[in-house]
Amino acid sequence: MNTKYIFVTGGVVSSLGKGLTAASIGTLLENRGLKVALQKFDPYLNVDPGTMSPFQHGEVYVLDDGAETDLDLGHYERFTNCKLTRLNNLTSGRVYLNVIENERAGKYLGKTVQVIPHITDEIQRRIQDVAAQSKADVVITEIGGTTGDIEGLPFLEAIREFALEVGYNNALFVHVTYVPYIRAAGELKTKPTQQSVAKLREIGITPHILVCRCDRPLDKDLRQKISLFCNVPVEAVIEEKDVDHSIYEVPLMLQRERVDEIICKLLRLDVPLADMTHWQEIIRKLIAPQHRVRIGVVGKYIDLQDAYKSVYEAIIHGGVANDCGVEIVKVDAEEIEKDGPDRILKGLGGILVPGGFGERGIEGKIMAARFARENKVPYLGLCLGMQIACIEFGRSVLKLEGAHSQEFKSDAPHLVIDLQEAQKKVTKMGGTMRLGSQETQLKQGSQAARLYGAFVVHERHRHRYEFNNDYRQRFEAAGMVFSGTTPDGGLVELIELPDHPFFMACQFHPEFLSKPHKPHPLFKGFIGAAHAKMHQR
For residue 442, the minimal CB distance to ligand GLN (Å) is 21
Q: State which of positions 73-132 bind ligand GLN (CB under 6 A).
A: none
| Only segment of 24-32, 353-361, 484-492, 529-537 that touches ligand GLN (CB under 6 A) | 353-361
For 300, phi then psi, to 5°, come to: -115, -10
| Only segment of 68-76, 166-174, 458-466, 472-480 that touches ligand GLN (CB under 6 A) | 458-466
Determine the Cα–Cα distance for residues 490 and 493; give it in Å rounded to an integer. Answer: 9
For residue 54, the minimal CB distance to ligand GLN (Å) is 11
| Only segment of 107-115, 190-198, 277-285, 354-362 that touches ligand GLN (CB under 6 A) | 354-362
CA 306 to chain centre: 9
Determine the Cα–Cα distance for residues 240 and 393; give it in Å rounded to an integer. Answer: 49
From the list 357, 409, 486, 515, which residue makes contact with ligand GLN (rule: CB under 6 A)? 357
For residue 466, the minimal CB distance to ligand GLN (Å) is 7
72 sits near ligand GLN (criterion: CB under 6 A): no
Q: Which is nearer to ligand GLN, 427 or 536 (CB)?
A: 427
In the chain, what's the furthest Cα-to-Cα distance? 77
Determine the Cα–Cα distance for residues 174 and 210; give it in Å rounded to an integer. Answer: 6
Q: Which is nearer to ligand GLN, 77 or 418 (CB)?
A: 418
Determine the Cα–Cα distance for residues 88 and 65; give it in Å rounded to an integer. Answer: 11
Contact 424, 483 (CB under 8 A): no
| Only segment of 38-46, 280-288, 460-468, 491-499 that touches ligand GLN (CB under 6 A) | 460-468
Please provide the size of the chain in residues: 537
Distances (CA, A) of 142 to 131, 321, 361, 393: 14, 30, 36, 45
**506 catalytic residue (yes or no):** no
384 sits near ligand GLN (criterion: CB under 6 A): yes
Q: Which is nearer to ligand GLN, 92 or 507 (CB)?
A: 507
356 sits near ligand GLN (criterion: CB under 6 A): yes
383 sits near ligand GLN (criterion: CB under 6 A): yes
**230 catalytic residue (yes or no):** no
463 sits near ligand GLN (criterion: CB under 6 A): yes
**511 catalytic residue (yes or no):** yes
For residue 23, the minimal CB distance to ligand GLN (Å) is 24
Contact 12, 193 (CB under 8 A): yes
For residue 529, the minimal CB distance to ligand GLN (Å) is 22
Contact 139, 5 (CB under 8 A): yes
For residue 267, the minimal CB distance to ligand GLN (Å) is 40
Calculate Rg over the CA atoms of the chain.
Answer: 25
Contact 368, 396 (CB under 8 A): no
CA 217 to chain centre: 29
Check residue 62 and report its DSSP letter: E
Q: Which residues contact 118 (CB under 8 A, 6 or more apart)?
A: 99, 108
Which residues of the chain form contacts with ligand GLN (CB under 6 A)?
A: 355-357, 383-384, 407, 462-465
Residues with a known catalytic role: 383, 509, 511
